[in-house]
Amino acid sequence: MRVLGIETSCDETGVALYDSEQGLLGHELYSQVELHAQYGGVVPELASRDHVRKIIPLLTDLLQKTGTQREQIDGVAYTAGPGLIGALLVGASVGRSLAWAWGVPAIGVHHLEGHLLAPMLETPAPIFPFLALLVSGGHTQLVAVRGIGQYQLLGESVDDAAGEAFDKTAKLLGLGYPGGAALARLAEQGRPEMFHFSRPMTNRAGLDFSFSGLKTQVLTTWQAQENPSEQVRADIARAFEDAIVDTLVIKCRRALQETRLQRLVIAGGVGANKRLRQQLQALGKSLRIQVFYPRIEFCTDNGAMIALAGCLRLQAGQSNTLDFNARPRWLMTAIDETYQAKSP
């Protein structure tokens, strides 16, 4: 089965072709970072309009580069949520319309399911069951994944997601947009142990996270400095990054020990963080478990993960009706309620 995937949940326009036998055939991605940088964050209306401008040219390029004719496409997958409602509607309307015109089934994919399955684009790919750490700008979750649609939420952030904390802390330190990546780069120049921030919620039972308090600690520390140098700024960034990474690793260790799962999957934009990857790799070695990551370009939003997730769902006989919906909020536990089963 060959599936076209479309991703437009926020500020990246992504398209991809995935073949159930040949794997990923190709993908195209356009980032709106430069568009939103002047505003210091994503402007939803501008994001939606840019998706409208970019999606058809990207689709045309993808089909040309892969030498794919529309008759060769067996299904269309698009991100149906969660995300920015206007941005989601662009991809959903284009995806549903193409599927109708081509006479093939269409399926709305849950954005987080795409991230959870993204490491399956790699070789070797993880097999079920596994523990997933989904860590991005909008979500920080630990999920036990036992199969397609079989997701058990073990813990999540009660306030800011890790990526959100990175972005907000970067803004406090006067860094540019996107802040998380800028802070991580600055942290590479920082000296370890020059400052110390707490590892929130690690001294109590449970697998939930809380990162909002770290922002306050950074702000207090930064304001207490008299004429701080760039080195001091880097040292504070390093201390903040260490606090985030240590917290994530501690909770992953706890979740692995509680579930006794033997595979750990890292997904989401913060999964590209070098220090986090190093520490989780060390954790895997100490516990003698396998650790899987998507390639860096598939940590952030992309069409490839949507094409893969859609292909797996369509192969299982699931699809959506013509009455498609975009969902700005969508629980993973309610994914299957939106699909119609294949007729017997």
- Tens of pLDDT, residue by residue over 219-255, are 999 999 999 999 999 999 999 999 999 999 999 999 9
The DSSP letter of residue 341 is P
Q: Has residue 343 been placed in a domain?
A: no
Residue 157, pLDDT > 70, answer yes
Give the pLDDT score at 129.
97
Q: Which segment, 137-146, 164-173, 244-253, 325-334, is predicted with the most confidence on average?
A: 244-253
268 and 315 inside one domain: no
250 and 158 in one domain?
yes
Shared domain for 287 and 178, answered yes or no, is yes
Q: What is the CATH number of the domain that holds 232?
A: 3.30.420.40
Task: Give the span between the Cα atoms of 296 and 284, in whole angstroms.
Answer: 19
Residue 122 lies in a domain: no
**Which of 14, 27, 30, 97 has its CA nearest to residue 62?**
27
Residue 336 counted as an annotated binding residue: no
Q: Is 180 annotated as a binding residue?
A: yes
| pLDDT tens digits along 14-61 | 999 999 999 999 999 999 999 998 888 899 999 999 999 999 999 999
The reply to whether 271 sits in an annotated binding site is: no
The reply to whether 123 falls in a domain is: no
Q: Flag whether 111 is marked binding.
A: yes
- Let me know whether 146 and 276 are in one domain: yes
Q: Which of 18, 231, 178, 253 is nearest to 114 (CA)?
A: 18
146-165: average pLDDT: 94
pLDDT reported for residue 342: 55
Q: State phi, psi for 30 to the nearest 5 degrees.
A: -120, 125
* Cα–Cα dist 289/70, whole Å: 42
Same domain, 140 and 155: yes
Q: Is 115 annotated as a binding-site member?
A: yes
Residue 199 binned pLDDT confidence (cut-offs 50, 70, 90): very high
Q: What domain range includes position 61? A: 2-117+298-334
Label residue 341 by pLDDT band (50, 70, 90).
low
The beta strands (E) that lie in the chain are given as 2-7, 12-19, 23-31, 75-81, 106-110, 130-135, 140-147, 150-156, 263-267, 290-292
137 and 101 together in one domain: no
| Residue 136, annotated as binding a ligand | yes
273 is in an annotated binding site: yes
Specify the pTM: 0.94
Same domain, yes or no: 329 and 263: no
Together in a domain, 285 and 315: no
Residues 93 and 150 in one domain: no
Residue 46 marked as a ligand binder: no
**Residue 274, token pair as written in the block:** 């070098």
Q: Are residues 144 and 255 in the same domain?
A: yes
Considering the domain architecture, whether residues 82 and 177 belong to the same structural domain is answered as no
Q: Say how many domains are in the chain.
A: 2
265 and 315 inside one domain = no
